[in-house]
């Protein structure tokens, strides 16, 4: 029956977001949502670990109580209860260790302060734009102003920084034109 479906292969569908432009606002919102989600997950794992500690303490206390009863009156029922309590205590202890590891991993995965490389990159980008704006203030000719948009500092700047650079260029252009 498979010969009914033979024919030319169908081209795959185009990517759903292939025509969308990069949007810094959406990226920032998605990053904030991800950070919030990771922090919530970390909090849930820490709470789960706290509950596991309580359950372990309760199971250890029950095992100690059952062992004490079995030591005083070693009937088959008391011995069986002591063995079951010891097994429950061991399982609770193992669960506590696993919860601790999960909590450590989720807390380490949750975003905290930016690392030094990210902070240094941000400072360099801000200083680069600031330096370009200071240089624009020192330009003496309109030809220099016309070349600003070809500079890599301008091309690599964010939209907000491009606005700042354009304002500086327009202000300097106005001052140079008033002199001429």
pLDDT tens track of the chain, all 180 residues?
444 555 555 555 555 555 555 567 777 777 777 888 877 887 787 788 888 888 888 888 888 889 889 999 999 999 999 999 999 999 999 998 898 888 888 777 777 654 455 556 556 655 666 677 777 777 777 777 778 878 777 777 777 778 888 888 888 888 877 765
Non-local CB neighbours of 128 within 8 Å, separated by 6+ positions: 153, 156, 157
In angstroms, the CA 52 to CA 159 distance is 49
pLDDT of res. 179: 66
Q: Quick one: pLDDT at residue 139?
A: 75
pLDDT value at residue 122: 54
Domain boundaries, the chain: 25-109, 116-179
- Please state the pTM of the whole predicted model: 0.48
Angstrom distance (rounded) from CA 31 to CA 27: 6
CA distance 54 to 59: 9
- The pLDDT score that the predictor gives to residue 1 is 47
Residues in the chain: 180
């Amino acid at each position: 029956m498979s010969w009914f479906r033979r024919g030319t292969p169908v081209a795959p569908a185009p990517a759903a977001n292939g025509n969308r432009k990069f949007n810094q606002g959406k990226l920032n919102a998605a990053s904030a949502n991800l950070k919030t989600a990771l922090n919530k997950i970390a909090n849930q794992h820490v709470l789960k670990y706290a509950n596991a500690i309580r359950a372990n303490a309760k199971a250890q206390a029950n095992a100690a109580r059952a062992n004490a009863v079995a030591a005083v009156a070693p009937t088959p029922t008391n011995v069986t209860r002591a063995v079951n309590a010891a097994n429950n205590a061991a399982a609770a202890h193992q669960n506590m260790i696993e919860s601790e590891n999960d909590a450590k991993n989720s807390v380490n995965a949750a975003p905290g302060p930016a690392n030094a490389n990210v902070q240094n990159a941000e400072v360099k980008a801000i200083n680069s734009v600031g330096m370009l704006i200071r240089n624009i203030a020192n330009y003496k000719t309109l030809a220099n102003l016309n070349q600003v948009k070809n500079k890599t500092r301008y091309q690599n700047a964010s939209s907000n920084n491009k606005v700042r650079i354009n304002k500086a260029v327009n202000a300097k252009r106005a001052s140079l034109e008033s002199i001429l």
